[in-house]
Amino acid sequence: MGGASSRDQRAETSNRLEDESSNSTSFTDEELTKLQSDYDTGGVEKVKTVVQQKVTELDNTELNVAVTGQSGVGKSSLINAMRGLGLNDEGAAEVGNTETTKKPTRYKHPNLPNVCFWDLPGIGSTDLPANKYLKEMKFTKYDFFIIISACRFTENDTKLAKEIKRLGKNFYFVRSKIDNDLDSNRKGGRQFNEEEELEKIRNDCVSKLQKAGIPSPRAFLISNFDLNLYDFSLLNKALEHDLPNIKKSIYILALPIISLEIVEKKRKELRKRVWMLATLSGGIGAVPVPGVSLGCDIGIVIGGIIHFRQCLGLNDSSLQSLAKRAGKPVEDLKAVVTTPLVGGEITLDVINRLAWGAAAATISVIEITLDIIPVIGSIFGAGSSFLVTYKLLSDALDDLTESAQKVVTAAFGTENDAK
């Protein structure tokens, strides 16, 4: 019985680490090869320097998303929704039907300040001709563009898309307020199949964009008030496919927590950071962990846990915003949280209460499978604080992910499971 349990545990750990290494580790293959070479020539300290540079790059890389369209199409509502904010939340973009913006307006992500959404006035809603519009809006600074329409895409929208393409940037057509269209049909007493109606709207958008000269256009149908409906997941997949490695990771971590699918995507991205932070801990500032003869850099562990908590939407402000959007008391969401890592300051005492000191018994399993992690397995062996930090952060991420899953289920039910 005990042997079977041990084998199962080893298999689970191995699968988890294989999951990490089979996905991007935020290093390219060339960078991993260089990492090995750096270790051969400069030892562990040189590797730590390279890893620290990568962590700094991840923390400091900016992602700038431009949202443009005519007044009243729902730009502000979409910007708020993609940041997980409601109309009355702090930092929310003002929603209205009057075009008040004559220049780009920046809205920072509430948990990731290097992620910014920019509200741009529609190309036909300013006094600027098209050739000056691109310069005034500083198009070269944005990573991609979302062009929104509430009914049909105009000649100005297609002209804008062509100029964006000329600059080598990606753009995505979003047809907003789809729920309003469907509600109008229902109120009119018309009998219709919702899926067929959505496909009709989608095909009409694509057909008109093709006629306007946009090659292979894609149009995504969105409800700004319920991102779980219609094509928001398809839009995310398109963006994730098109964005370069680090920006893709940042975009995923910035997504609002609205489904179990998104929680899982975030878990995979955060898992990539665990081994990097563990590498940085490697024996510096080691603080003994009860039940383990080794220590770790508690500052790195606590900083990692706080970052995980924010990205998974488990900080207090994110839970408040989620509760408002779901129409549930925030107490109902907090009631399903099962980890002491949520709701207060992260201290050594909090970590000790989780009884992770008992991880000493399972560290040998990680030692056996460390060679799955590129390069690092050959650098740190048994007796390293790398192992303790890795185990602590891995278990913290698992705990927080489980609570995030429960929060999403409490907020939206089970319908939003990964598809």
The per-residue DSSP string of 170-238 comes to EEEEEE--HHHHHHHHHHTT----HHHHHHHHHHHHHHHHHHTT-SS--EEE--TT-TTSTTHHHHHHH
Residue 218 predicted with pLDDT over 60: yes
Residue range 128-139: mean pLDDT, rounded: 73
Residue range 118-126: mean pLDDT, rounded: 76
Q: Quick check: helix, strand or coil at residue 108?
A: strand
Cα 155 to Cα 178, 267, 376, distances in angstroms: 21, 41, 54
Residue 110 predicted with pLDDT over 60: yes
Confidence of residue 282 (pLDDT cuts 50, 70, 90): low
Average pLDDT value for the chain: 78
Give residue 275's pLDDT.
Answer: 80
How do 105-108 and 115-121 pair as beta strands?
A: antiparallel
Structure tokens given for 383: 């007796």
Structure tokens given for 22: 């089979």
Taking the model in full, what pTM does it have?
0.81
Q: For a pLDDT cut of 70, what percent of the chain falls above it? A: 75
Do residues 259 and 418 lie in contact, with contact meaning Cβ atoms separated by under 8 Å? yes
Contacts of residue 343, defined as CB under 8 A and 6 or more positions apart, other chains included, come to: 316, 334, 337
Which has the minimum average pLDDT: 150-159, 267-276, 355-364, 405-414? Answer: 355-364
Give residue 402's pLDDT.
Answer: 95
Domains of the chain: 2-59+257-412 (no CATH), 61-254 (3.40.50.300)
Q: Could you give the angle at the alpha carbon of 397 between the alpha carbons of 387 and 365, nearest 5°?
A: 35
